[in-house]
A = this chain, B = another copy of it.
Amino acid sequence: MTTQGSSNTRQTQRLLVGVWAGLAALAPDALSSIAYGPQEMIIQLEPAGLRAEWYILPLGFVLIFLLGFLVFSYRQIIQSYPNGGGSYVIGQATFGSTIGILAGSSLIIDYIMTVAVSVTAGVDALVSAFPSLQHDMVTADVLIIVAIMVLNLQGVRKTAQVLSPVTYLFIAMILMMATVGLVHPFQPIAPHPKIFPLPSALPSVGVLMLLRSYTSGSSALTGIESVSNAVPIFKAPSAKFAKRTETLLGIFLGSMYVGVILAALREHAMPTAHMTLLQQIAQETFGHGIFFYLLSFVTMAILAIGANTSFTGLPQLASLMSWDQWMPRMFLFRNDQDVYRNGIFVLGGVAAFLVLLFNGNINRLIPMYAIGVYLSFTIAQVSLIKKALTDRRAGKPTVQLRVLPFVAIGSLLTMAVVISSIISKFQGGAWIIVIAIPLMMWGMVSIRRRYRTVDQILSLAQPVHIPPSRPSAVLVPVDTLNQLTVQALHTAQYLAPQVIALHIAPNEAAEQEFAAVWAQSDTHGPLHLQTTSVQNASVMESLMAYIEDWQQQNPGQVLWVILPILTSKNPWEGFLYNQFERSLHQQLVFGHNIMVTTMPFPLQRPSL
- List residues of chain A with CB under 8 Å of any chain B CB: 1-12, 135-136, 138-139, 328-330, 332-336, 338, 342, 356, 359, 447, 449-451, 453-455, 457-460, 462, 464-467, 469-470, 481-484, 486-487, 490-491, 493-495, 511, 515, 521, 523, 528-542, 544-546, 548-549, 565-567, 574-577, 579-580, 583, 585, 589-590, 593-600, 602-604, 606, 608
> Quick one: given A5-B532, A453-B606, A486-B466, are A335 and B595 in contact (CB under 8 Å)?
no
B466 & A531 in contact (Cβ 8 Å cutoff): no
A541 to B583, CA, bound (A): 27
B460 & A3 in contact (Cβ 8 Å cutoff): no
A149 to B515, CA, bound (A): 39
B459 & A483 in contact (Cβ 8 Å cutoff): yes
A4 & B532 in contact (Cβ 8 Å cutoff): yes
Q: Which of B2, B447, B537 is in CB contact (< 8 Å) with A532?
A: B2
A332 to B577, CA, bound (A): 11
22 A–B contacts from the bound complex (CB under 8 Å): A3-B532, A4-B532, A6-B545, A6-B549, A7-B545, A135-B359, A329-B576, A332-B580, A333-B580, A335-B538, A336-B541, A450-B576, A454-B577, A457-B604, A460-B523, A462-B483, A467-B487, A469-B487, A469-B493, A469-B494, A596-B597, A596-B598
CB-defined contacts of A328 to chain B, threshold 8 Å? 575-576, 579
CB-defined contacts of A459 to chain B, threshold 8 Å? 482-483
Q: Which residue of B lies closest to A560 (CB)?
A: B597
A484 to B332, CA, bound (A): 20
In the complex, the count of this chain's copies comes to 2
A457 to B607, CA, bound (A): 11
CB-defined contacts of A494 to chain B, threshold 8 Å? 469-470
A3 & B546 in contact (Cβ 8 Å cutoff): yes
CB-defined contacts of A590 to chain B, threshold 8 Å? 565, 567, 574, 600
CB-defined contacts of A462 to chain B, threshold 8 Å? 483
Give the dominant DSSP class at A's interface.
mixed
Distance from A293 Cβ to chain B, minimum over Cβ atoms (Å): 25
A565 to B585, CA, bound (A): 12
Q: Which residue of B lies closest to A549 (CB)?
A: B6
> Quick one: given A329-B580, A336-B538, A482-B459, are A593 and B603 in contact (CB under 8 Å)?
no
B511 & A483 in contact (Cβ 8 Å cutoff): no
CB-defined contacts of A10 to chain B, threshold 8 Å? 536-537, 541
Q: Which residue of B lies closest to A511 (CB)?
A: B2
> Quick one: given A487-B467, A541-B336, A606-B450, are A5 and B535 in contact (CB under 8 Å)?
yes
A310 to B541, CA, bound (A): 26
Known: A5-B533, A449-B608, A453-B608. 12 other contacts (CB 8 A): A5-B537, A9-B535, A9-B541, A336-B540, A338-B538, A455-B482, A469-B487, A469-B493, A565-B589, A585-B598, A589-B598, A598-B598
CB-defined contacts of A493 to chain B, threshold 8 Å? 469
A279 to B460, CA, bound (A): 72
Distance from A141 Cβ to chain B, minimum over Cβ atoms (Å): 13
Distance from A541 Cβ to chain B, minimum over Cβ atoms (Å): 5
B458 & A483 in contact (Cβ 8 Å cutoff): yes
CB-defined contacts of A453 to chain B, threshold 8 Å? 606, 608
A538 to B470, CA, bound (A): 34
Distance from A475 Cβ to chain B, minimum over Cβ atoms (Å): 12
A494 to B472, CA, bound (A): 13
A8 to B537, CA, bound (A): 7
A602 to B593, CA, bound (A): 7
A603 & B336 in contact (Cβ 8 Å cutoff): no
A577 to B523, CA, bound (A): 41
Distance from A66 Cβ to chain B, minimum over Cβ atoms (Å): 36
A567 to B454, CA, bound (A): 11
CB-defined contacts of A7 to chain B, threshold 8 Å? 545
B549 & A3 in contact (Cβ 8 Å cutoff): yes
